[in-house]
Amino acid sequence: MKNKNHYTEDPTTILTGDIIEPSPAKRSLSLLLSSRSGSLMLQDAMLQAGNDHCRALLAQTAMEHAGALAVMAGRLNSIAPQGSQYYQAVLAAYAEKAVEKVRRW
C-alpha cells in the first residue's frame, strides 16, 4: 500500500489499495458429519423420518382396510340384512384394534 497524500494536516496516513472482505467460515455437511455430535444428530433425524413414514403407512393401511370392510358390510347388509349387527360388530372390532395400533406406534 502506498501513501497517497504527503501534505495533510492530519498526522494519520491515508492509504490506498484493494479492500479484502473476510471470507465466511465454511460450514458444510461433511464438516458437520465429521463431528460425533453431528453424526448422531443426522442418525436421529433419519430414525425420526423413518418412524414417521412407518406410522403414516400404518395409518393409511388401517383406513383403507376399514373403508373396504365398511363397503363390504354395506353390501352384505343389502344381501343378507339379518347379519347386519355382526357385520357392524366385526367392523367396529377391526377399527378399534387398528386405532390402538396407530396410537401405540
What's the CA gap between 15 and 8, in Å, rounded? 12
Q: What is the pTM of this model?
A: 0.58
30-68 confidence digits (pLDDT tens): 666 677 777 788 888 899 999 999 999 999 999 999 999
* DSSP secondary structure letters along 14-25: PEE----PPPPP
2-28 confidence digits (pLDDT tens): 555 555 566 677 767 777 777 666 666
For the residues 93-100, what does the mean pLDDT come to? 96
Region of poorest pLDDT, from 66-70, 78-82, 83-87, 101-105: 101-105
What does R_g of the chain's alpha carbons equal in angstroms?
35
Indicate the domain borders of the chain.
53-105
